[in-house]
Homo-oligomer: A and B are copies of this chain.
């Protein structure tokens, strides 16, 4: 058996070891059912209790109001890119988008494909998405304002969210949900693929405010209507049971280990500072995002001598530091520091980076 590595992959990503150990320990017998979690009926009490527990924990951690429904859907955030405009732009209204990176651009493209009214009200494309636009505000009367809270590929993250002006905010929080507390009340819908801060790939969390459900048209396929899943507690059809179960365990791990998102954020800031401070004090490395737009979750950087990056990534991998290659669309290096990455992992990375710079500088 190979030793456990520090996994800086952007998603699927590292998960808490205690969660993995629990999945392993009870894989043949889910809560005394005599069946594996992969075999139990989604219509059984033992499964639905677990699902409801996950919902309750998420509502508690995020301070969600009772008018929010938490849904477990399939198809990834990529499916939300079209489900959001398909469901939430009533005839005669216009949705607003902020374009802060590759994923934002994909969300905008799906709205175009559906031929729905939309405007891009702000963008950071002019400088390769290396910053978050300032002073973004929704236009009163807009259907919603969509933004990507953290840009996994470009390493940027919204600090203060856009000003809502009474317009429902909609956000793709795939890569930073639960990394910090925030006021959820201006949000009409939040979505997140699980495979970064929430669990394994294969389930997407959608948090939708009840008033948004009133917009859902009746003439779209049943599986694509948010109402279908909201009315059936995510059990209209067979849900991805194992993935939901692992999300529940991750949520329990957060509550048991940190108590609340304030504590989670403190650790995330400590981890990110450790790495950014080292980069900023080095001539060998440089961060790619504007300092005031930097992400706590995905630290993107280059080597001053870009020719050394291939060697850097290869030697990091040999040193049990996995996944530090940047996204294929932008190149360079990236370390993803999701909730499950511990401080020791970041220290190991910094130590390696120091040694690599000393040897190759």
Contacts and interface: CB of A to CB of B under 8 A. Distances in A.
Interface in A151-166: none
B12 A23 contact: no
Contact of A223 (B1, B7, B14, B75): B75
A239 interface: yes
B33 A2 contact: yes
Contact of A2 (B34, B203, B221, B237): B34
B39 A12 contact: yes
B39 A221 contact: no
Contacts of A1: 28-29, 32
A236 B15 contact: no
A219 interface: yes
A322 B34 contact: yes
Interface stretch (A240-248, A279-287, A297-305): A240-248
Which size bracket describes the interface of A in this complex? Answer: 35 or more
Copies of this protein, total: 2
A79 interface: yes
A1 B25 CA distance: 10
B42 A12 contact: yes
A295 interface: no
A74 interface: yes
Interface string A189-212: 000010100011111000000000
A39 B9 contact: yes
Nearest to A14: B39
Interface of A: 1-5, 7, 9, 11-15, 17, 20-21, 23-24, 27-29, 32-36, 38-42, 74-79, 81-82, 86, 106, 109-110, 113-114, 193, 195, 199-203, 219-224, 236-243, 246, 320, 322-323
10 contacts: A2-B34, A17-B28, A23-B27, A23-B38, A34-B320, A74-B75, A82-B221, A201-B238, A201-B241, A240-B240
